[in-house]
Amino acid sequence: MKISSREIGLAWFTAIVLVLAGTYFFVQPRVDAWKEAVKADDNLQRQRRDLERTAERRPEVDRKLADLRKQLPQHPAGKDVTAELLKTLERTAQASNLVLLRREPEKEKNVEDLYEVAINCQWEGDLEAVVRFLYALQVQGAILDVSQLTMSPASGGPGRLKGNFSVDCAYSRTSAGLDAVETTPVPPK
Task: Give per-residue pLDDT as tens, 28-79.
Answer: 888 889 999 999 999 999 999 999 999 999 999 889 888 888 878 888 887 8
Is residue 37 situated within a structural domain?
yes
Q: pLDDT tens digits for 67-106? A: 888 878 888 887 888 888 889 889 999 999 999 999 999 9
Q: How many CB atoms lie within 10 A of CB 98?
A: 24
Whether 61 maps to a domain, the answer reads no
Eight-class DSSP state of 130:
H
13 sits in which H/E element: helix 5-56
Residues 111 and 166 in one domain: yes
Identify each DSSP E strand in the chain by its residue range: 74-76, 99-105, 109-111, 114-126, 144-153, 160-174
Question: What CATH number should be reported for the domain holding residue 106?
Answer: 3.30.70.60
Judgement on whether residues 79 and 170 belong to the same structural domain of the protein? yes
Do 116 and 109 touch, CB atoms closer than 8 A? yes
* Count of other CB atoms within 10 angstroms of residue 99: 13
Q: Give the sign of the dihedral formed by CA 87, CA 134, CA 163, CA 145.
A: negative
At residue 186, the pLDDT reads: 40
In the prediction, which pLDDT does 142 show? 63
Q: Is the pTM of this model over 0.75?
A: no
How far apart are alpha carbons 161 and 149 in whole angstroms? 12
**For residue 184, is pLDDT > 50?**
no
pLDDT at 187: 43
Q: Which pLDDT score, from 0 to 100, does residue 181 have?
A: 35
Residue 188 lies in a domain: no
To the nearest 10°, report the CA torsion of 88, 68, 133, 118: -60
164 in the same domain as 78: yes
Q: What percent of the chain has pLDDT over 70?
A: 91
* H helices present in 57-125, as ranges: 58-71, 82-95
- Cα 99 to chain centroid, rounded: 31
Q: Say how far apart CA 78 and CA 55 lie, in whole Å.
A: 36
